[in-house]
Structure 1
Amino acid sequence: MSKKKGLNFEEKRARMMEIFFETKDVFQLKDIEKIAPKEKGITSMSVKEILQSLVDDGMVDTDRIGTSNYFWAFPSKALHARKRKLEELESQFAESSQKKEHLQKSIEKSKTGREDTEEREALLKKLAALRQKKEQLKKEIDKYRECDPDVVEEMPWPQNAFQPEHWIRRQSPVICGRVWSFS
């Protein structure tokens, strides 16, 4: 009692293309809607959607003659499309290979003068130590930033005598290493 599994969209597209390739004929939509369910197991409700997706992808050709739309696809067209795609991919591959080769040469060129020597190792260690020292000094400078004369000069000192006291309390009870107490 197993249920019959339906076809997915790609399987339906492949079977629809088989109709065109096997018959090598030109069809109207109503003809395909009759043939597809009988021969390929494609539900008639999805035929129009599948056919439109094949037309959109350029796999099936269509033309309007009078009031009717005709659809066709020949194996030679698919073969030519695959050949064009293959040529395009081969061209991209060759271009990528050249780019890779160029980058490898560039890497080799940049490695010259960077050989691991004792002198280079010592210089790299010294560089790392200097960078660490720089970070420590930056932190220390930031710690005393409030005492910087330029920063102090930019502080708003209003006309009212009590406002500086309020501003100082708001900033920190300890400014420039001195404890301020207002009683």
Structure 2
Amino acid sequence: MLIVQKYGGTSVGTLERIEAVAQRVIKTKNEGHDVAVIVSAMSGVTNQLIEQAEFFTKTPVGREMDVLLSSGERVTSALLAIALNAKGYAAIAFSGRGAGIVTDNFHTKARIVSIDPKSMQEALKQGKIVVVAGFQGISTAGEVTTLGRGGSDLSAVAVAGALNADLCEIYTDVDGVYTTDPRIEPKAKKLD
């Protein structure tokens, strides 16, 4: 069975949490499954990068923002792959480009147009755990692009489809599901 697992920023928010994610991925691998993991940037990193850009201007160029913001997920994917390899489990980190994720040419809010899964499929055939930096891709013009907020979830579902995965699991560390984003709307209600 091929399982795609996606871990959000809070799930990979510290090195200890990345360690816990590695253990969960190893458990899945030890159950006999092939595993592809999509990761977000560590909690707070994207906001920190936006604040740093806005130190210079409130309206940074979209292309440069994509180059900047895509770095957060690449860091997380590399750290998780390093953790897995250190535990004796062959893992390989891919950027969006390395994973074959091709987008349109709209910076900061790109849409996926196709995924060429060959590199990921080859790594899975070799028994490796595939770790993909979510939220990003490469445009048809060859530029780094990001998918906007929630882009790592989108990456996970799209990669699962491209790989014909049997299951796509999306993990997040939150206290529940709300009617809307409680960080934006204080009257958001938690659903049962």
Query: With structure 2 as the length reference, what TM-score do the two structures score?
Result: 0.18
Higher strand proportion, which one? 2
The structure with the largest alpha-carbon Rg is 1
